[in-house]
A = this chain, B = another copy of it.
Amino acid sequence: MAEHNVTVETTLATLLAAKKYSTIKDILVTMNPADIAALFEEMEQDRIPLLFRLLPKELAAETFVEMDPDLQELLIKGFSDSELREVIEELYIDDAADLVEEMPANVVKRILTQADPEMRKQINEILRYPENSAGSIMTTEYVSLRPAMTVSEAITRIRRTGVDKETIYTCYVTENRKLLGFITVKDLLLCQDDDTVVTEIMVENVISVTTRTDQEEVAQMLSRYHFLALPVLDDDERMVGIVTFDDAMDIIEEETTEDIEKMAGMLPSEKTYLRSSPFETFKQRIPWLMLLMVSATFTGMIITSFEDALAVQVALTAFIPMLMDTGGNSGSQASVTIIRALSLDELEFSDLPRVIWKEIRTAVLCGIALGAVCFLKIILIDRLLLGNESITVLIALAVCITLAATILVAKLVGCSLPMVASKLGFDPAVMASPFITTIVDALSLLVYFGIANAILL
């Protein structure tokens, strides 16, 4: 994709220099809005307004929606009032509400002034809902049918009112804004008798969400049920809007990136990697690094308190990195698996005993396999091959017992912390590798020196 854009970019730059505007227009109109937006984002900013003005009205609005907020702001600032009005008129309500949320106050004021009164009312409606709720991402433009309509009347209504709707394929049968059922255009078209009343063929058990449902849950439901749209009801059970599958795909992508960032000990970022400045990336990464560095004071204290033992048996030190890394890796395997299962709704808190029992058995298998190989490795490679006489069989034994114990502790901490966090209403993704590594490090050092003291001294 990106490689393709680079070529088009060069072509367009050449055409732009030669002022071949109609050729440029001919190229742009063959492209998909998402690709045009991606292309604009790689270009020098002063060229973009000129190119944008070449786009036909509808394509311009579709491209505008796909752009990053910075670029949207840049364009709006260059727009005349009538240009701005033209773009806004073409937007779907949910996209217009998103735009208003992203823009600074002075730009918002201009947008709302240019929007027609009905649209302004609907945008304000959506903005009332809390961020990341179904209400804040829904669109109020959907096809509603009356229960008494026949199939042919329904089709006529869709043909008359569908042009402004984000999707016409799922229609909602409502009476006084109460949702009675839904019917798809497929069902309507395939119904062989045009006089059938829609209530006869509609689906009555409608799965819906409320305006307060979290957007991630809405997206998971759309994905789970393979629906094109989900209806949104207010607290009085009246239908107020729909959320469509394309928004769900964007939300899932966004939320997954956020989870992955949290699991790697970062604050989530709003911008793509290349568009955020080093200072923004620094701010995103430094808090956890700082916290984890300071909390490593404990591991230092543990080592210091066993300084005398280490002075006698310096060989013990050589295995500290291996023990800590294996513990960290074992723990993050368990925690990452659990965090993903929680976010896909495959696990709930009541599964905790099953999870723990499973991790214990897995840890025993891993502990035996790794412990045995580690013992052989220490004796054969470290002692015989590398000729390190100070590594005795007792030291090897202490290391391997610690290794097995560390794996068990790491798996238990790794699987239970995210589940407990989720139960307590915290985000389980924060309980991932960096955090667990620090806990497991401290515990494994305590086990190590405890066992070493018992066996060796």
- B-binding residues in A (CB < 8 A): 1-3, 6, 30-32, 34, 155, 158-159, 162-163, 168-169, 185-186, 189-190, 192, 205, 207, 222-226, 228, 245-246, 248-250, 252-253, 256-257, 260-261, 263-266, 272-274, 278-279, 281-282, 285-286, 288-290, 292-294, 296-297, 299-301, 303-304, 307, 310-311, 314-315, 317-322, 324-326, 328-330, 332-333, 336-338, 340-341, 344-348, 350-351, 354-355, 358, 361-362, 365-366, 369-370, 373-374, 377, 381-382, 386, 388, 403, 407, 433-434, 437-438, 441, 445
Main secondary structure of the interface of A (DSSP, over half): helix
Shortest Cβ distance from A374 into B: residue: B293
Contacts of A289 in B (CB 8 A): 326, 329-330, 333, 366, 370, 407
- Is A333 within 8 A of B260, CB to CB? no
- Is A317 within 8 A of B326, CB to CB? no
CB distance from A430 to the nearest CB of B (A): 14
Bound Cα distance from A325 to B445, whole angstroms: 14
- Is A317 within 8 A of B310, CB to CB? yes
CB distance from A368 to the nearest CB of B (A): 10
Say yes or no: A321-B297 contact (C-beta < 8 A), given A329-B434, A336-B260, A347-B274. no
- The listed residue with most B CB atoms (<10 A of its CB), out of A169, A263, A333, is A333
Contacts of A358 in B (CB 8 A): 274, 278, 281
- Is A297 within 8 A of B346, CB to CB? no
- Is A369 within 8 A of B286, CB to CB? yes
5 nearest A-B residue pairs (beta carbon): A296-B322, A278-B361, A226-B246, A264-B336, A299-B321
Shortest Cβ distance from A285 into B: residue: B333
- The listed residue with most B CB atoms (<10 A of its CB), out of A253, A321, A332, is A321
Q: How many copies does the complex hold?
A: 2
Bound Cα distance from A263 to B30, whole angstroms: 39
Bound Cα distance from A330 to B289, whole angstroms: 7
- Is B32 within 8 A of A266, CB to CB? no
CB distance from A272 to the nearest CB of B (A): 5
Q: Which of B337, B377, B386, B438 contacts A294 (CB 8 A)?
A: B377
CB distance from A92 to the nearest CB of B (A): 12
> Beyond A226-B249, A303-B317: 8 further Cβ-contacts under 8 Å?
A158-B189, A273-B337, A278-B365, A281-B358, A285-B366, A299-B321, A325-B438, A433-B433
- Is A329 within 8 A of B278, CB to CB? no
Contacts of A328 in B (CB 8 A): 325, 328, 437
Q: Which of B301, B317, B332 contacts A264 (CB 8 A)?
A: B332
Contacts of A299 in B (CB 8 A): 318, 321-322, 325
